[in-house]
Structure 1
C-alpha cells in the first residue's frame, strides 16, 4: 500500500485520535484488512500515519470498544469484524436517552461484570487489569486524552474478563455515548486520585476472587461519577435514584429519593 493511502483526513475539526480511527475503519471497510488479519505493529502504524503512538493507542482502543479490532497478548492488534451488521453499532441507543439513564445501566452492567470477572478471569487477565489500574494512576492530570484512554482501558479489561460476550457488547455500545462527559469530567488532581484509588480497589478485590467485594467496589466507583453527572445536569434529588452501598446485607441497593 502506498504512503498516500495512509494519509489522514485534513478535517481539523476532529481530534487526532478520531482521524486515526476513521482511517483505520476506512482501510477495513475497503477490504484492505479482513477479519482475522493482523494490523501492522503500533510503531509501524504510527510511522505510516505520521502520528504519536499515544494518539494511535487511543484510536485503537476506541475501535476495540466498538468490536472492530482486538488485541492479543504478545501478538498485536487484529481485525475482529469487517461486517457492519456484526458491529456494536447495530445496538442503537436512542439519542434522547439522558446521560444519567446511561450511567444507571452502565453501573448495572459493570457491577455484574466485576462479580463475574472475580469468578472467571484467569491470572493473566487479572494481571492485565492491575496493569491498567497502574497506568491510569500514572497518567498525567494535564492530558485529558490519556486520562480517558487509560480509564476506558481499565474498565474494558474488567468487562472482557467477565467472559460474557453479550455483556461486553452492551457495554461497548454505552461507552461512546458517555465519552464527551467523561473527558470533560477530568478537571482536578483530586478527582483523578479518587478514580485511580477506586480502580486499585476493584483490582484488589478481583485479585482475591472476592465476588461481592469487586461488585461493591465497582458500584461505589461508578456511583461517584453518576452523582457528579446528575449534579452537573441539574437533576433534582427527587428525580433521580440513589444507590446505597451500605445496605444491611452488604449489597448495593437502589431506592428512589
Structure 2
C-alpha cells in the first residue's frame, strides 16, 4: 500500500515513553511501519508536513528521525520528490556501522572516545567558521542547560545535546555532523543512566561557557583545548570499560592538545 494511502489514526501513534527523546520514538514508529508492511521498499513516505501531522510532532524532530534512518540506509531522500523507503531488511541493516550504532552495539567507552575525536575537531573548526548568530545560539542553549534542574534527567540530557549538536553544526562540516549524529542515541543513553549530580551539571555549564568564550575570540587552539577538558571530564564520569587504557589530563603536559591514552591502574 502506498504510504499516502496508509491507515491514519492509531497506527501512527507514538509509544508514550517520556524517558526517550522524541526523535527516537519517531524512528521506532517508522521502523514498525516498515516491519509491519505498511511501508514497503520503494514506497514514498508522506510529505514532511503530512507525516508530522500523522505523528503529531514538530518537523524538526521528524527530520532528525528521518536523517537517522537515512544514515542506516533504511530511507533515502530524492531531490524534488521526497523521502522513500530504501530497504525493509532491517536485520541486514544492523550489521553495518550505522545499524550497529542505532542498535547500541558499542560500549559507552567506545562511543565516548570517538566523541572526543569528533567534537574537539568540531570545536576548532567552529572557532574559524561560526558566525555571530551561531555563537549567540550556543550561549542561549547553554543558558537553557544551566536552568535545567539536575533532578530532571531528561531535560538535562536534551539541553546538553542541543548545545553539543549546535556546536558540531557550527563546524560547517556536513560529514562531521552526520558522523556525530550517528553517535547521539548511544551518548544520550550513557547520560541518562549516569544520573548526573548537581556538581557535574554545574561544572559542565561552566565548561560550556569556556568553550564559547574561546569560540567568540576565534581561538581554535583554545576552543579545542577547552572542549577536550570538558569531554575528558565527562569521559571519566561516564566511561564504563575499565579493562582498556583510559584518557587522562596529562594531555596538557608539553605541547600536545590531544588526549594521551594511558594504561588504567
State the shift of 1:31 in Å. Answer: 3.8
Q: 1:212 to 1:195 in 2, by over 3 A?
A: same
Partner SS, residue 252 of structure 2 = coil
Correspondence 1:111-150 to 2 at 5 A? 111-150=120-159
Q: 1:5 to 1:152 in 2, by over 3 A?
A: same
Using the TM superposition, name which of 175-184 and 105-114 deviates more: 175-184
Partner SS, residue 248 of structure 2 = strand
List per-residue Cα deviations over 1:145-165 (Å, max 9, x = no partner).
111111111111111111111
1:235 corresponding residue in structure 2: 242
2:181 corresponding residue in structure 1: 172
Q: 1:143, 1:109 → 2: CA distance?
A: 28
State the shift of 1:58 in Å. Answer: 9.4
Unaligned 5+ segments in structure 1 are 69-78
Q: 1:110 to 1:221 in 2, by over 3 A?
A: same
Partner SS, residue 148 of structure 2 = coil
1:74 corresponding residue in structure 2: none
List per-residue Cα deviations over 1:7-60 (Å, max 9, x = no partner).
514576985834455457769x664534xx5x38xxx96xx767xx8xx69955
State the shift of 1:176 in Å. Answer: 1.3
TM value normalised by structure 2: 0.70
TM value normalised by structure 1: 0.71
Q: 1:83 to 1:161 in 2, by over 3 A?
A: farther
CA contact (8 A) 2:228 2:259 kept: no
> Which of these residues, 33, 42, 56, is aligned with residue 46 of structure 2?
33
How many positions carry a matched residue from both structures? 232
Q: 2:162, 2:12 → 1: CA distance?
A: 27
Q: 1:84, 1:202 → 2: CA distance?
A: 40
State the shift of 1:189 in Å. Answer: 1.3
Unaligned 5+ segments in structure 2 are 71-80, 88-92
Correspondence 1:1-257 to 2 at 5 A? 4=9, 8-9=13-14, 15=20, 17=22, 18-23=24-29, 31-34=44-47, 37=48, 39=49, 59-60=61-62, 63=65, 66=68, 82=84, 84=86, 91-92=97-98, 93=100, 97-230=106-239, 233=240, 235-236=242-243, 239-249=245-255, 251-257=257-263
Q: 1:65, 1:142 → 2: CA distance?
A: 31
RMSD after superposition: 3.9
Q: 1:23 to 1:164 in 2, by over 3 A?
A: same
